[in-house]
Amino acid sequence: MKKNLVYGAIGLFSLSSLSAVMAEDQSKVTLETIDVVGVTPLPGSGVDAAKIPANIQTVTSEQLEKAQSLSLNEYINRYLGSVHVNEAQNNPLQPDIYYRGFVASPLLGLPQGLSTYVNGVRFNEPFGDTVNWDLIPKGAIDTMALVPGSNPIYGLNTLGGAIALKTKTGFSAPGHQFEVYGGSWDRHSEELTSGANNGTWGYFLDVHNFGEQGWRDFSPTRAKQVLGTLSWQNDRGELDLTLAANDNDMKGNGAAPEQLLGLGRKAVFTHPDQTITRMFFSELSGSYDLTDDIEVSGNAYFRQNRIRTFNGDDSDFDGCEDESGFLCDESGEFPVVDINGNQVLEDDSVEGATNNTSATNMRSRGGTLQSMFKQDWFEHENNLTVGASYDYADVHFGSDTELAQLTDDRGTIGSGILVRDARVRLNTNTETYGFYLSDTFSVTDDLAVTLAGRYNHVSITMANQFIDGEDKLSGKHSFERFNPSAGFTYQIIDNVGMYGSYSESSRAPTPMELSCADENDPCRLPNAFVSDPPLDQVVAKTWEGGFRGNFDKFMERGDMKWNLGYFHTVNHDDIIFNRGGDSISEGFFSNVGQTRRYGIEAGTTLNYAQLFSGIDDWHFAANYTYLNARFMDGFTIQNPLNEDEPAQVTRGDRIPGMPEHIFKASIGVDLWKRFSLGIDGLYSGDQFFRGDEANTTPKLAGYWLFNAKAEYKVNKHLALFGKVDNIFDKDYASFGVYGQADEVLGDAFDSGRFVSPGAPRAGWIGVRLSM
């Protein structure tokens, strides 16, 4: 098996099989191109893409560069089907990425339904299964694949899909490049990449510095990222040692009251809302061909991520109703006690605001070992992959609430007084092991059948480090399940095929969810965890099928790819955050029965050479998704506009935060092989506000967005580029949630509706030097 191939995020690459036809005086060679896709998160040899019973979407480093994307998440939001973004944090490095109604987000408390991998290493955080998109520099990404469905091979959290990244090496990305750009909001980016190899040894290095003041008030961000890989390979094997680190300080002040934003889109409600991430990542991965038909591959890793948050918020505390002079909770009956056990006196320095802080130190280690067998069975082509994985993570989580006062611009000044009831010190250990198998058997040249399955076992131990009265946090939990899948592909004609599959996957309740699961003792996200009753694991069952085609000689000089499919996923024992308690921000996690997400996906890409004058190459792409996401069982929630009243969720109510219609299109042209122009647009339909599971209030409006870009290659070493986002300066919001603003801003701001505004028109220009 040849090793110096450009793997995709899950092993996408091209192989050419040669068919030589001998003539009297020369040999003519015909090349047949076959796309091969890996069937597991671990990069390596794979299976003919036409035999994979799913529509996998891929992204290459060349596409990321040409699109001038700030990050991977910006690219997949604009160009990949069935993806949309909620900008709940209003920070460009911290989006909520949704695919088919399943989320991968940095926010604690969201039901994470997408698994993420980097070089075969799971990147969902061990405490809340969250995904921090700011950790890996964009320039270090070689390829990415978005795998649809509840594919069990990708392990826990693959309820709706998986995102798998492969980073660059000195063999996949030789060369040296320096790119710098700047523009609106004082945004600037400097990135240096360098890679080389001598045929046996290779290296790759990416160093990235990013900063901006942000387009909203009090919202600066800086990010420093580095990734390096040392590689070795020969004809039969390869090894990669990858090291990565980052030091990021991000402020994104999130949703604000609609009436406040009506006075100015830059306004924030309270501030700061700060997240600091510091990660160190190390991995040794490799593969070896025991024979021409048997490949062994594996990896071992250590990963540490330290996350600190500081949220300046309004306060639920006020003077006691008995006029005793002490500070009480929102009920007005129970005095606030500080960390030393003393009642807190009512004073301006401790009223009106709180500083909610947290520190999470996560250390993960583990590895994967797998073998792939490409040996015919009964004279039929067969590809069998078997593997095992082990992951162990220990987490130290701490959080505090400090009493504070609001400034005139709604910032906070801390008093130094910490609330005893809000303190959390929790240690958790999570041990996960899995065994998996996938087999693709070619019944005929046109018909292939795939069977796969994975067994997962998760053990979670939680130890309360701050016990004040009854210990409701400490406990042990274990979850296990075997998840199967089956599918087929059939090539109807040479360039049109069909596929269908059934798959199951699951996710275990996270330590964070288990720490906040008692309806009689609600907690305040993301800080105050108080109780530890059991939750059931979530099981997703997906049916999907469709058609796809590839026309290599469309209208003689073009190539066209298209897909049309249907998906249907039901989550059993789905977990949501059910608001309840004395505040709209308090609640508990609970299993709410079944939720369903089904829809239609359609997409096409067309590349056409020399359409008009012989000097132009045109590119067109479009994707449409119809997404129907609904609750299938009824339950009771807190009315988002009146905390004293319940609201009833009934079968068929739409799941909040998910648009029903998503459309994307892009068109571009390359002129004289030097100058390129492009424009892209997307439509995201209306959605219900987060917290309105009963669908009782007006929806957040949908929106259209258009962006443009251009690039001029002066020569093969120098390129100038620029882009404009939101070219029509659309005033829109991508996310809505409920809150209480009247106590801070007055009765004129009592609608309870908070939204995250989208960025206004902005532009950037840059230069790229390559060698």
Residues 634-683: pLDDT tens digits? 999 888 888 778 899 999 999 999 999 999 999 999 998 899 999 999 99
State how far the Cα of 377 lies from the Cα of 751, in Å rounded to an integer. 67
- pLDDT given for residue 578 in this prediction: 84
| pLDDT confidence tier of residue 242, bands split at 50, 70 and 90 | very high
pLDDT in tens, 451-471: 999 999 999 999 999 988 888
- pLDDT given for residue 177 in this prediction: 97
- Residue 705 pLDDT > 60: yes
Helices (H), 187-263: 258-262
- pLDDT given for residue 529 in this prediction: 54
For tokens 């699961």, name the residue.
517
State how far the Cα of 126 lies from the Cα of 637, in Å rounded to an integer. 28
Q: Checking DSSP bridges between strand 57-60 and strand 47-48, what pairing results, if any?
A: unpaired
- pLDDT given for residue 88 in this prediction: 87
Note the Cα 717 to chain centre separation in Å: 34
Count Cβ atoms within 10 A of the Cβ of residue 31 and give its class: 0-12 exposed, 13-18 middle, 19 or more buried. Answer: exposed
- pLDDT given for residue 5 in this prediction: 39
- pLDDT given for residue 524 in this prediction: 63
Report CA-CA distances (Å) from 46 to 40, 42, 460.
9, 10, 34
pLDDT in tens, 134-163: 999 999 999 999 999 999 999 999 999 999
Which has the closest alpha carbon to 506: 148, 158, 149, 121? 158
Q: How many CB atoms lie within 10 A of CB 445?
A: 9
| pLDDT confidence tier of residue 25, bands split at 50, 70 and 90 | very low
pLDDT in tens, 571-586: 999 999 887 665 666 7
Percent of the chain with pLDDT over 70: 92
pLDDT in tens, 433-454: 999 999 999 999 999 999 999 9
| pLDDT confidence tier of residue 31, bands split at 50, 70 and 90 | very low
- pLDDT given for residue 374 in this prediction: 92
Choose the weakest-confidence range: 32-41, 189-198, 668-677: 32-41
- pLDDT given for residue 447 in this prediction: 97
Choose the weakest-confidence range: 12-26, 270-284, 517-531, 628-642: 12-26
- pLDDT given for residue 49 in this prediction: 86
Q: How confident is the prediction for the chain on average, in pLDDT?
A: 90
3-class secondary-structure state, position 388: strand
Strand partners, 189: 181, 210
In sequence order, the 6+-apart residues with CB closer than 8 A to the CB of 493 are none
Decide if 274 contacts 222 (C-beta within 8 A): no
Decide if 725 contacts 145 (C-beta within 8 A): no
State how far the Cα of 201 lies from the Cα of 522, in Å rounded to an integer. 56
> Which one has a higher pLDDT value, 677 or 612?
677
- Residue 280 pLDDT > 90: yes
Strand partners, 300: 284, 367
3-class secondary-structure state, position 550: strand
- Residue 33 pLDDT > 80: no
Per-residue tokens: 689: 């506000």
Decide if 294 contacts 373 (C-beta within 8 A): yes
Phi, psi angles (nearest 5°) of residue 657: 80, 10
pLDDT in tens, 6-23: 333 334 433 333 333 333
State how far the Cα of 194 lies from the Cα of 205, in Å rounded to an integer. 5
In sequence order, the 6+-apart residues with CB closer than 8 A to the CB of 527 are 356, 357, 358, 399, 400, 401, 422, 424
| Mean pLDDT calculated for residue range 472-500 | 94
- Residue 118 pLDDT > 90: yes
Decide if 504 contacts 484 (C-beta within 8 A): yes
